[in-house]
């Protein structure tokens, strides 16, 4: 299995290096139910040694399959992400928490390699759409008969009449015939 780690060992202060990966769609999984990556993930990155930290910029392009929360149909959506991370070297496993310095949040890494897979997967999960609708005006399922209202209309609403209205209707009817 390939790993997706970028070495920082030969990068001197002020230097950058660019890289790119095409990750097959079946290789990485998002730990989210009902979401699947359906296109190879294209990653274009540039890593800069900025003195006391490393600046990582990634452009991520893929496509995901999701389930509409209203009608439960699956649909696909392009998923594009720009990631920018400032990383600092941690000298010990215990110091792997994020460091904050002058209100800048730094991520940390151990050893001489930055794990691109971990960073990309983390950002893909964090940026997943909260509203998962197949289309903005999805009509959803009928709560009574379960019919997908995008496909055809059921008559459930008409069938259910408020009992008070029913009484009123009856009253009007009787009045008409009186």
Binding site for Zn ion (CB under 5 A): 68, 70-71, 134, 138, 142, 144-145, 147, 154, 156
Tell whether the torsion through CA atoms of 166, 172, 177 and 178 is positive or negative. Answer: positive
Are the beta carbons of 67 and 36 closer than 8 angstroms? Answer: no
Provide the minimum distance between the beta carbon of 73 and Zn ion in the complex, in angstroms, as a whole number. Answer: 5
Between residues 36 and 122, which has the closer beta carbon with respect to Zn ion? 36
User: 54 with 88: CB under 8 angstroms?
Assistant: yes
Toward Zn ion, which CB reaches closer, 27 or 144? 144
CB of 25 to Zn ion, least distance (A): 23
20 pairs with which residues across the strands? 44
Q: What span, in angstroms and rounded, lies between the C-alpha atoms of 19 and 1?
A: 19
Least separation in angstroms between CB 153 and Zn ion: 8
Whichever of 101 and 157 has its CB closer to Zn ion, that residue is 157
Sign of CA dihedral 27, 53, 108, 57: negative
Shortest distance, CB of residue 149 to Zn ion, whole angstroms? 8
Of residues 3 and 33, the one with the C-beta less far from Zn ion: 33
Helices (runs of H) and strands (runs of E) counted in the chain:
3, 9
Of 86 and 139, nearer to Zn ion (C-beta) is 139
User: How far from 38 is each of 48, 66, 126, CA to CA, in Å?
Assistant: 31, 10, 18
Residue 134 CB, shortest distance to Zn ion, in Å, is: 3
């Amino acid at each position: 299995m390939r790993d997706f780690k970028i070495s920082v060992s030969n990068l001197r202060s002020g230097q950058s290096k660019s890289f790119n990966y095409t990750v097959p769609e079946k290789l990485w999984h998002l730990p989210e139910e009902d979401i699947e990556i359906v296109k190879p993930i294209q990653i274009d990155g540039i890593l800069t040694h900025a003195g006391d930290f490393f600046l990582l910029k990634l452009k991520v392009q893929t496509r995901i399959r999701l389930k509409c929360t209203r009608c439960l149909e699956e649909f696909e959506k392009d998923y594009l992400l720009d990631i920018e991370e400032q990383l600092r070297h941690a000298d010990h496993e215990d110091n792997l928490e994020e460091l904050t310095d002058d209100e800048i949040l730094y991520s940390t890494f151990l050893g001489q390699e930055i794990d691109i897979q971990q960073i990309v997967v983390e950002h893909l999960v964090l940026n997943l759409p909260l509203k998962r609708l197949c289309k903005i005006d999805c009509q959803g399922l009928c709560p009574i008969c379960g019919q997908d209202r995008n496909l055809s209309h059921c008559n459930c609403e008409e069938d259910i009449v408020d009992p008070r209205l029913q009484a009123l209707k009856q009253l009007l009817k009787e009045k008409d015939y009186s």
